[in-house]
């Protein structure tokens, strides 16, 4: 089963997390994939590995990881790929693809 994992930056402020969840929930309505989860890189839960775990528990065997970032910088080139590699070690049969940033 295909799934989408949206990876937002994260914030200590509840309002920022709620705003990200609201936005991504609305965006996902335009995607033809039923199963999705929203996670955060830092400062908020769930983190990337938890998001992947939840999708796998719901039956996902293919996950498209979508970085909800404006720029291709450290989080895009290092942090998210590191989390994806950890997930591949835990779930070796899981197919994970990695998307592009939103861009400016």
Q: What is the pTM of this model?
A: 0.94
pLDDT at 104: 80
pLDDT in tens, 5-59: 999 999 999 999 999 999 999 999 999 999 999 999 999 999 999 999 999 999 9
Looking at residue 102, the DSSP 8-state letter turns out to be -
Taking 90 as the threshold, does the pLDDT of residue 102 lie above it? no
pLDDT at 20: 95
| Tokens of residue 80, six digits | 């998210």
2-98 placed in CATH 3.40.50.1400: yes
Q: Cβ–Cβ contacts within 10 Å for residue 5, how many?
A: 26
pLDDT in tens, 52-99: 999 999 999 999 999 999 989 999 999 999 999 999 999 999 999 999
CA angle 101, 8, 62 (to 5 degrees): 75
Q: So where are the chain's domains?
A: 2-98
């Amino acid at each position: 089963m295909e799934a989408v994992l949206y990876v937002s930056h994260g914030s200590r402020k509840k309002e920022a997390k709620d705003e990200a969840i609201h936005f991504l929930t609305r965006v996902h309505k335009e995607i033809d994939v039923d199963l999705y989860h929203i996670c955060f890189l830092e400062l908020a839960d769930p983190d990337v590995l938890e998001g992947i775990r939840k999708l796998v528990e719901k039956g996902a065997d293919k996950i498209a990881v979508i970085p909800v970032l404006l720029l291709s910088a450290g989080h895009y080139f290092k942090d998210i790929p590191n989390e994806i590699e950890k997930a591949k070690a835990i779930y070796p049969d899981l197919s994970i693809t990695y998307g592009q940033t939103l861009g400016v």
